[in-house]
Each structure stands twice: as C-alpha cells, then as structure tokens.
Amino acid sequence: MTELADRAAGHTTSQAPAARNSPAAPAARTAGSPAVDVAALGEQLLGKWAGIRRQARELAGRPELHKTEGLTHTEHRQRVFGQLKILVDNGAVHRAFPVALGGEDEHGGNIAGFQELVIADPSLQIKAGVQWGLFGSAVMHLGTEEHHTKWLPGIMSLDIPGCFAMTETGHGSDVASIATTATYDAAAEEFVLHTPFRAAWKDYIGNAANDGLAAVVFAQLITNGVNHGVHAFYLDLRDPVTKEFLPGIGGEDDGIKGGLNGIDNGRLHFTQVRIPRTNLLNRYGNVDADGTYSSPIASPGRRFFTMLGTLVQGRVSLDGAAVTASKLALKTAIQYASERRQFNASSSTDEEVLLDYQRHQRRLFTRLATTYAASFASEQLLQKFDDVFSGRHDTDEDRQDLETLAAALKPLSTWHALDTLQECREACGGAGFLIENRFASLRADLDVYATFEGDNTVLLQLVAKRLLADYAKEFRNVDFGVLARYVVGQATGAAIHRTGLRGVAQFMADSGSVQKAATAIKDEAGQRALLTERVQAMVAEVGSALKGANKLPQQQSAALFNSHQNELIDAAQAHAELLQWEAFTEALGKVEDAGTKAVLTWLRDLFGLSLIEKNLSWYLMNGRLSMQRARTVGEYINRLLVKIRPHALDLVDAFGYGPEHLRASIAGGAEKTRQDEAREFFRQKRASGQAPLDEKILLARAAREGKAQSGKAQNGKSQKGKSQRG
C-alpha cells in the first residue's frame, strides 16, 4: 500500500516514533523497570461481583448469543427474542428478583452481569433490560406483594413479554409533564387510560412494535378532580394468542433505527382504555374504592422523584455497559497497533510499529486512562446502588446521592464510549471500518446510549442543580465579602466544597495559593487541587449569579437560570470528571503490587493532566496556572506516554476479554503473522544478494561518483595552475 493510500485509510503519517525500540522486541521494558501483575489487576477491575461477571462473560462468549451482522431488522428481532429465552434458561436475568419467586435479591450482582451482555450484542442487552430491568423492575419496585405474585413469575419466565411505557413523543426527558392520563371512575372502580393528542403517544418503547403482551404505563393520576402526578399502571396490550392489540389500544412500528435493530421499538396510544383499580402499582400512591388518594410520601415532588429513583438502575447499567464497550475497543485497537507496521522512519529496513508513534499513543493511551477512571468510578456507583437497593444504606439522602451520582457518571461514560469507538476505528485505518472488527457496529448500537435513560445534557443539568443546592447550604451563613473572595479564587482559608454525591465534605488542600499548588501538577495533591478548585469556582460563580433567583417572578427566574445554563452544565461535567479522578486515585490505594501501582499511577496522572490540558484556557483565564507552568502540562503528558508504552498490552490484557468476546479479526494475531512474513521475505531477499537495487540507491551512488569526479577535475585544475605558476 502506498503512503498516500495509507494516509487515506487513517494510519499515522511518517514521523519519528515517540520511543525507539529494537525491531525484534518493540517497547521492551528496560532492566529494573516496573511490571504489571496482569492477573491481580484484572481481578481488581472485575470488582466486588467478580464471580458473576465471569459467569456473564462465559455466557456472552457463546456463539448462539452473538450478533449476526447483515440480518434484516425483522430477522435480527426474531433472533434476539430467541436469545432472551437462552438468558432465562441460564438464570442470567433473575438475580434481582425476590427469593420467594426464584430470584436472589442480588441487586448489584444483577447489574454487574447485565453490563457484560453488551459483549454479545447490545440489542440483546437492551432488550433484556427492557424486559427485566425496566418492565419487571417497575412491577417489583412500584408494585406491592399482590402485584408481585400475580405478574412477576410470568415476567421472569418471559411468558409475559412487556414494555416500559414512559417516554412520549412530546415529552422525552420531561417525565413530570407527560400528557397521558389515568382518570379514576369510582362507580366502576376502574382507571381510564387515555392519550388526548398525538404528542401524548408513548414513543421509542422497546417491545411495543411486536413482542409486548403487557406494559407498565406512566400517566397522570386523576381522581376526584385532582391530579396527583405521574404514577405507574399495569396494562395488558395484546391478545396472547392472536398478538393483536386489545380494544382501545393502538400503535405502530418505529421502523429501522441507526442501531439496536434487534429491538422492536414502537409507539402506543390509548383511547379510553379501562383497567381495574388494582392495576395501579401502588407502593407510593393508592386510590381507595371511593376514589380517595393516599400516599406514604406527602410531598408530590418528593413522591415523584422517589418513584423514578427506584428505576435508576437503567442509568447504572448503561454506565457500566459503556465502559465495557470502551474496553473492547481499546483492547482491539492497541493489540492491532502493537503489530501493524507503517513507514521506515528510523530504519532502512524495518517499518515502525504504529504504537511507537507519539500521536498514536496520544490517541489511544489518553482514552485508555479515561476508561480505567470510568471503570473504577462505575464500580463505586454499582456499590452505591447495591447499598441502597439491598437496604443497607437506604435513607432519602442515600437515594438522592445515588440518583445524582448516576446522573453524573452515565453521560461521561456513554460519551466516552462513542468517542473511543470512533477514535479506535480511525486508528485502525481501513481495517477498522470493516464490520468484522466491530467498531462501526458497536458505535451504531451505542449511539442511543447518550440519549436514553435520560438525555446526557439533561442529566448533567440535574447534577448542576444538586451542586447549587449544596453550595447554597454551604454558604447560607457566610457574609458577602467571604463569598466574593471565594468566587475570584483568592480564598486561602477553609474554602469548603461538598460533592453532594458521596455524603462527605472535601476540603481543598490549601497549603498556600492555588498557583503554588499548580507547581506540583505531577503530584496527586497538585492535580486534586487544580481539578477541585475548578469545580468550586465554577459552581460558586454561577451560584453567585443566581443568588435570589427564587424570589423573582417565575418568568424572570427562568430567564436568569437559562442565561447561565451552559456554565451550569460545564460545572456538572467538571464535577463528574473529578469524581472519576478520585475513584481512580482511591483504587490506586488498594493496589499491593509495586510495579502495578507505579504503572497505574502514570495512567492516573495521564488522565488528570489530560483533563487539565483540555481546560487550559480556563486555568489560564482564571489565574490558576501561569503561562510557563501551563506549557509543562503537554510536555509531561508526552513523557508519560513513553513510560506507559511498554505496559500498554498488559493494561488492556487486564480487561480479561478473550477472542470469543472481542470477535475482531485484527485482534487475533493475524496482523503480526502478516508483518513477520513480510519482514522475513525481505530479509531473505537481502541475504541472498538477489534483491533488486532501489533506484534511490543508484541515484545516490551516481551523485557520489559525480561529486568525486568533479572533485578530481577541480583538483587537476588546481595542480595545473600551480605548475604554470612555478
């Protein structure tokens, strides 16, 4: 392939490699350098539910669960529905359900296993999530024992395929404003479900187009002329024999999507559909026969968020699944880059391994560092989820913390997965674009992860509101002078920042000024200071600008908030990144092997400094870094790349994925075989003396001979001149 063709295919252009290694042993570790204990690191990455993750990976590695590329969407749907039955037969989806019904009451382990299903086929993972993680979970968490006994056995066995009918065409993430109504008729002791206009249709609903026999429908509960807000209702959708919609129920197929075409998403609408009063899932809100409404939660707002909070597992699941997809992509891309050779920049005979080029390292290692950070943060989120749902730590504050933490991490991990899949695809050139190597397929399927279970931008706004609330509590009794100094970053005393997500206060390490701390950006304390101070200052600045907004008329208050929405979301993202950095740092403290700890520390530093480099403009404009210090960030990152390079394969091997999980031809060693064959071919040619001469060598030889002849002629003239003068 010519250099021009390879550039078009996306390979690194000819340049000096970042670190020169002998062709026979690329990136070989020098004597005395640290080594990674791959097995121990892999165990740490598996986390608390390592055994369940291994079981899930074994199942996901089976060919009968793998995605078959090239199927029509109808064929793909049929295949995935059949795969759900395999999950049932292998007990892979019942861990979170009650022991009395054949489950295990194992909430964290259930999500851990679910997250691994993305390895097999994202459509299978999400369809399983619709059936058991949304539909079944809604019945379990929003219903009572009567509902559990009546419906959960059929849901668990797949005898009742179901839908989670919350989202509407006109109200996506704004669940509180959905327009579908459930009006109670006391005379008949029935609720009447109705979609009053087209925008109230339930939309993008998994299982709605074909498979769903029932649904949990979210609607505004109205009784005795009072709207008590959004509640959940169990509704039979189709005749189990004919599969036709029941009277008053209609719908249509969403059709072919940009990905996840193994799921039959569709639309549902209801025209005065009557259901029994007892079909209200009434754990948090009940209607008596006479129409009297009651709830154990008096506040309508708190009741709404409590009900939706029980369904937070969808965001927790997507967070971990996105991290898994990033790991798959990086394992494939780094394996390929360690074997693929391109351009002989520093050798007349051997081409360079792609992974030795600095830019290639920048592309992949920075994303590898972020993936490790996201992985450790995801494990913390999962443990928080398990603490709440197991009842060990299940206060209102715990649930709010869980909701906010999930809203912070899910956007970062899903956006990162899409970015990583795309960069890995490009880093593998034309080979990365082949469906057989999975980058394009995985990216298409994961694209919607950024907007379902809560649009990422909307979720970050939720986080920002929590940060503002915590900020307001922190400075409720602080005078304006102190607040002003805090906002401009001049406070050198006890400037306190509460994360609001872990239930602990984090104090800025204030051993002087922020500028002084910045001189130690290579150290843990210096990185923490810079990352924490940025969040503090951003929240404080917006909080100060919004001070008193709640006392303004509604329209003015909304306009003021809207004028600072962008800064709020930026602050929330910075806060989520800080949480990932803290999770990585905490994980470092649990590493016992010295070599592994040294390499992971470099990787953590790469993550932290990459965040600082990404936001250098903020640090410079706000005086947190000097221009001279800012210049050192990129230089140190480049030095970290060189240190990490010999350990890159160990770091991705620790993810623990085999060929049955990767299923990418370029990650199976074929490229190394091709490259070795080519190198041996040319070596033998040179050794035989029969290799054709390169034209450039002939031209260089001719040039040397011409120069020599010219020198002789010039020397002859000089000698002749001397003779004549003599």
- What was the pLDDT predicted at 485? 40
- What was the pLDDT predicted at 488? 42
- What was the pLDDT predicted at 38? 97
Q: What is the pLDDT of residues 133-182, one digit of tens each?
A: 999 999 999 999 999 999 999 999 999 999 999 999 998 878 999 999 99
Q: What is the pLDDT of residues 206-247, one digit of tens each?
A: 999 999 999 999 999 999 999 999 999 999 999 999 999 999
Per-residue pLDDT at 483 exceeds 60: no
**Assigned token pair, 696:** 């450039």
- What was the pLDDT predicted at 309? 81
CA 140 from centre of chain: 27
- What was the pLDDT predicted at 629? 84
Sign of CA dihedral 189, 201, 156, 382: negative
User: What are 512-518's contacts with CB under 8 Å, separation 24+?
Assistant: 514/489, 514/623, 514/624, 515/623, 515/624, 515/625, 515/626, 518/619, 518/624, 518/625, 518/626, 518/629
Domains and CATH numbers, the chain: 50-309 (2.40.110.10), 672-717 (no CATH)
Per-residue pLDDT at 620 exceeds 70: yes
- What was the pLDDT predicted at 23? 36
Q: What is the pLDDT of residues 259-296, one digit of tens each?
A: 999 999 999 999 999 999 999 999 999 999 999 999 99
- What was the pLDDT predicted at 498? 33
Sign of CA dihedral 136, 139, 142, 146: negative
User: In angstroms, what CA-CA distances link 320 with 116, 210, 368?
Assistant: 8, 28, 15
Question: If you average pLDDT over every residue of the chain, what do you get?
Answer: 86
Q: Binning pLDDT at 50, 70 and 90, where does residue 344 land?
A: confident
Q: What is the pLDDT of residues 485-518, one digit of tens each?
A: 444 443 333 233 333 332 222 223 333 343 443 3
* Contact (Cβ atoms closer than 8 angstroms) between residue 107 and residue 389: yes
What proportion of the chain, given as a percentage, has pLDDT over 70?
Answer: 86
List 183's β-bridge partners, or say none. 192, 222
Q: What is the pLDDT of residues 400-414, one digit of tens each?
A: 999 999 999 999 999
Q: What is the pLDDT of residues 20-61, one digit of tens each?
A: 333 334 455 666 689 999 999 999 999 999 999 999 999 999
Q: DSSP 3-state assignment of 497?
A: strand
**Spatial distance between the Cα atoms of 532 and 585, rounded to a whole number of angstroms:** 14
6-20, 105-119, 278-292, 522-536, range with the lowest pLDDT: 6-20
User: In angstroms, what CA-CA distances link 312 with 103, 117, 137, 316?
Assistant: 20, 19, 10, 7
Kind and range of the H or E element at 307?
helix 300-309
Per-residue pLDDT at 663 exceeds 80: yes
- What was the pLDDT predicted at 216? 98
| Amino acid occupying residue 7 | R
| Amino acid occupying residue 718 | S
- Tell me, what DSSP letter sits at residue 135? I
**Spatial distance between the Cα atoms of 469 and 225, rounded to a whole number of angstroms:** 34
- What was the pLDDT predicted at 67? 97
- What was the pLDDT predicted at 29? 62
**Spatial distance between the Cα atoms of 284 and 512, rounded to a whole number of angstroms:** 51
**Residue bearing the bigger pLDDT, 86 or 355:** 86
- Mean pLDDT, residues 380-396 taken together: 93
**Spatial distance between the Cα atoms of 236 and 221, rounded to a whole number of angstroms:** 18
Residues 6+ apart with CB under 8 A from 578: 499, 531, 532, 535
Q: What is the pLDDT of residues 537-579, one digit of tens each?
A: 999 999 888 888 888 888 988 898 889 999 999 999 999 999 9
127-131, 645-649, 683-687, range with the lowest pLDDT: 683-687
**Spatial distance between the Cα atoms of 321 and 315, rounded to a whole number of angstroms:** 10
- What was the pLDDT predicted at 27? 55
- What was the pLDDT predicted at 224? 97
**Assigned token pair, 49:** 């539910």
**Spatial distance between the Cα atoms of 507 and 512, rounded to a whole number of angstroms:** 14
What proportion of the chain, given as a percentage, has pLDDT over 90?
Answer: 68
Q: What is the pLDDT of residues 357-370, one digit of tens each?
A: 889 899 999 999 99
**Residue bearing the bigger pLDDT, 644 or 347:** 644
Residue pointed to by tokens 């690329």: 26
